[in-house]
């Protein structure tokens, strides 16, 4: 290897860094629309799967348009806020705002049997990173018609099990209210009584994820309390 | 390096570059490099194959770039230059996966990014590409990534077959109906330690067949 002057090394580094920067920005710029589309389609698939509609990448958009009739944003008082697209609301950003200013998205879907379902997004913290999901509620606005969860990087085989059907199906038929007061669904260790309408089984070895999920369900859905009561009347 | 300009593209020497890393000079089982990601992405075959292709692209292209620039790269900053080239390639591959193979890129999550730290890459750039022409470097890159991928695919085949009862996501065990006879998937195969043990078994098989790999005392 030859010995190079300091000047050469400086020029070499600058040229290298600039060309790499240009290359990377170009790639990112060109691929961005496709990547955003993927994220959007995945979100639609998640919303559909919470109401137990299985969709593939190809038909997700069509099915979404078929089932999801309406979507809007409300605040904690239950009043609808005009001019905000519920689909583009990022819960993570909303949760950083003061409670009264938070946008709460509501998706209205009509299931095959003709039931009008309310689909609500939830987002919280697992052990390693964010966890999120969608909860579909039956017309009585307290019985769960279906849920779907996902996570960024929970431990495979342990916390990551929250996005398996085995875990999610436990939520079917559970209720959020007990005699008119909001109680959410508890995730309990060591086996929940199947008949208990407010409890599901935690994931063994995934305690922190399970607890995070329980907190997520409670904290996100309790904000809709006023809206639920208003709507039910 | 004085090489004959008329050397055929696939001379015996070049074929060796491609073939040796698959067997007797395998980066995982003989040099024991790149183990970390071998443990992480081998639960299912599909991510393992995508990971293999990603590493192949990154290593082959980085090798060629470094080999082409080898006379121009100042020795004092060569490691930084190598890292920049690898990192650039990894980011590009990652972006492409996110755009064209979204589900797989979600499964691989951080491990695509971690190709940057894969010891095989830095090793090949520093040991081979810095001293050889682009074409042999390209073959060396393909060969080593192939050797890495071969082990990944073998390990993931056994882990998916025994742990989830499927091959490439196709539920073989269910179709064979063995569950009816009381067969159960071995959940332990899904856990990371079993990848290490599987790699160990492969090393054992390889060494018992090829005695020259056994270190003399």
Task: Return the pLDDT at A82.
Answer: 86
| Whole-number pLDDT of residue B5 | 55
ipTM: 0.76
Does the residue B199 lie in any domain? yes
Residue B12 in any domain: the answer is no
Region of poorest pLDDT, from A20-34, A53-67, B133-147: A53-67
In a domain, B71, yes or no: yes
Chain A residues closer than 8 Å to B102 by CB: 35, 38, 42, 57
The pLDDT score that the predictor gives to residue B86 is 94
> Quick check: A221 pLDDT over 60?
yes
Reply yes or no on whether the pLDDT at B72 is more than 50.
Answer: yes
In the prediction, which pLDDT does B17 show? 86
Q: In this complex, do A9 and B74 lie within 8 Å of one another by their Cβ atoms?
A: yes
* Most A CBs within 10 Å, among B57, B61, B102, B188, to test the A interface: B102
Average pLDDT, integer, range B122-144: 92
pLDDT at B4 over 70: no
pLDDT of B6 higher than 70 = no
Chain mean pLDDT for chain B: 86
Please give the model's pTM, rounded to 2 decimal places: 0.77
Q: Which residues contact A145 (CB under 8 A, 6 or more apart)?
A: A51, A52, A111, A115, A117, A136, A137, A138, A172
Per-residue pLDDT at A212 exceeds 90 = yes
Cβ separation of A157 and B190 shorter than 8 Å?
yes
Domain span at B96: 24-210
Residues in B whose CB is inside 8 Å of some CB of A read 43, 71-78, 80-81, 84, 88, 91-92, 95-96, 98-100, 102, 109-110, 187, 190-191
Q: Note whether B76 contacts A13, CB cutoff 8 Å.
A: no
What is the C-alpha radius of gyration for chain A, rounded to an integer number of angstroms? 22
Q: Which residues of B touch A28 (CB under 8 A)?
A: 95
Q: Closest CB to B75: pick one of A1, A16, A35.
A: A1
Residues of A within 8 A of B91 (CB-CB) are 24, 27
Interchain CB distance below 8 Å, B98 and A1: no
| B84-130 pLDDT per residue, tens | 999 999 999 999 999 988 888 887 767 888 888 888 898 899 999 99
Listed in sequence order, the residues at least 6 apart from A195 whose beta carbon sits closer than 8 Å to its beta carbon are none
Identity of the residue in A9, A42, A57 whose CB atom sits nearest the CB atom of B77: A9
% of chain A with per-residue pLDDT over 90: 45
pLDDT of residue B66 exceeding 70, the answer is: yes
When mean pLDDT is compared over A55-64, A153-162, B84-93, the highest value belongs to B84-93
Q: Which residue of A has its CA nearest to B130?
A: A1
**B29 assigned to some structural domain:** yes
Residues in chain B within 8 Å Cβ distance of A42: 102
Q: Region A29-34: what's the mean pLDDT?
A: 93
Task: Name the residue among A16, A28, A31 with its Cβ closest to that of B84.
Answer: A16
Collapsing DSSP states into helix, strand and coil, what is residue A137? strand
Q: Residue A199 pairs with which residues in a beta bridge?
A: A186
Spatial CA neighbour of A213 closest among A143, A158, A137, A142 = A158
State how far residue B206 is from chain A, nearest Cα, in angstroms: 30
Overall domain count for chain B: 1
Task: Give the chain A residue whose CA is nearest to the CA of B188.
Answer: A157
The arithmetic mean of pLDDT across residues A67-78, rounded, is 89
- pLDDT value at B2 more than 80: no
Residue B111 lies in a domain: yes
* pLDDT surpasses 70 at A158: yes
Average pLDDT over every residue of B50-65: 93
A21 touches chain B (CB under 8 A): no
Predicted confidence (pLDDT) per residue in B183-215, tens digit: 888 888 888 888 999 999 999 999 888 888 777
Taking residues A40-69, report their average pLDDT.
Answer: 89
pLDDT at site A21? 96
Question: What integer pLDDT is reported at residue A103 of this predicted model?
Answer: 92
| B81 contacts A15 by C-beta, under 8 angstroms | no
Q: Give the model's pLDDT for residue A118.
A: 93
Within 10 A of A211 (CB to CB), how many other CB atoms are there? 18
Quick one: pLDDT band at residue B1, thresholds 50, 70, 90?
very low
Chains A and B form CB pairs within 8 A to the count of 57
As a whole number, mean pLDDT of residues B53-73 equals 93
Residue A57: per-residue pLDDT:
83
B73: number of Cβ within 10 Å: 22
* Confidence (pLDDT) at A2: 63
Q: CB distance A12–B73 less than 8 Å?
A: yes
Interface contact A153-B76, CB threshold 8 A: no
User: Could you read off the pLDDT of A79-105 as tens digits, one per residue?
Assistant: 888 888 889 888 888 889 898 889 999
In-domain check, residue B11? no
* A20 and chain B in contact, CB less than 8 A: yes
- Listed residue (B126, B119, B131) closest to B55, CA to CA: B119
For residue B4, tell me if it sits in a domain: no
B9 within some domain? no
Question: Which tens digits make up the pLDDT trace of B31-56?
Answer: 888 887 778 788 888 888 988 999 99
CA distances from B46 to A201, B150, B181 (A): 31, 13, 28
């Amino acid at each position: 290897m030859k010995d190079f002057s300091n000047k050469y090394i400086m020029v070499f580094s600058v040229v290298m860094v600039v060309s790499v920067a240009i290359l990377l920005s170009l790639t990112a710029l060109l691929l961005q629309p496709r990547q955003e589309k993927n994220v959007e389609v995945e979100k639609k698939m998640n919303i559909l799967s919470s109401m137990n509609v299985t969709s593939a990448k190809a038909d997700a958009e069509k099915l979404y348009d078929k089932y999801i009739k309406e979507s809007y944003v409300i605040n904690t008082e239950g009043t609808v806020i005009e001019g905000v697209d519920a689909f583009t609301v990022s819960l993570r950003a909303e949760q950083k705002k003061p409670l009264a200013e938070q946008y709460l998205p509501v998706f209205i879907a009509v299931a095959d049997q003709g039931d009008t379902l309310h689909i609500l997004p939830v987002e919280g913290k697992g052990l390693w990173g964010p966890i999120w999901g969608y909860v579909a509620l039956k017309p009585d606005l307290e019985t769960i018609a279906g849920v779907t969860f996902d996570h960024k990087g929970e431990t495979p085989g342990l916390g990551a099990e929250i996005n398996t059907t085995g875990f999610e199906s436990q939520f079917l038929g559970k209720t959020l209210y007990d005699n008119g007061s909001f109680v959410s669904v508890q995730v309990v260790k060591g086996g929940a009584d199947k008949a208990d309408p407010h409890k599901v089984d935690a994931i063994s070895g995934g305690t922190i994820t399970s607890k995070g999920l329980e907190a997520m369900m409670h904290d996100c859905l309790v904000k809709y309390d006023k809206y639920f009561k208003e709507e039910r009347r | 390096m004085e090489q004959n300009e008329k050397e055929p593209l696939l001379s015996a020497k070049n074929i060796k570059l491609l073939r040796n890393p698959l067997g007797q000079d395998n980066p995982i089982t003989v040099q024991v490099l790149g183990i970390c990601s071998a443990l992480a992405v081998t639960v299912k075959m599909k991510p393992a194959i995508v990971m293999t292709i990603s590493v192949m692209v990154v290593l082959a292209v980085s090798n060629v770039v470094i080999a082409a620039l080898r006379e121009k790269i100042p020795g004092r900053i060569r490691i930084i230059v190598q890292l920049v080239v690898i990192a650039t390639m990894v980011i590009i591959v990652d972006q492409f996966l996110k755009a064209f193979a979204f589900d797989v890129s979600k499964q691989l999550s951080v491990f695509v990014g971690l190709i940057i730290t894969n010891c095989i890459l830095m090793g090949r750039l520093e040991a081979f590409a810095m001293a050889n022409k682009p074409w042999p470097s390209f073959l060396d890159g393909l060969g080593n990534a192939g050797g890495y991928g071969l082990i990944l695919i073998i390990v993931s085949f056994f882990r998916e077959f025994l742990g989830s009862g499927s091959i490439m996501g196709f539920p073989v065990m269910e179709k064979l109906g063995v569950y009816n006879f009381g067969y159960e998937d071995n959940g332990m195969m899904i856990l990371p330690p079993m990848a290490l043990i599987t790699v160990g078994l492969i090393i054992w098989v390889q060494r018992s067949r090829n005695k020259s790999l056994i270190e003399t005392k």
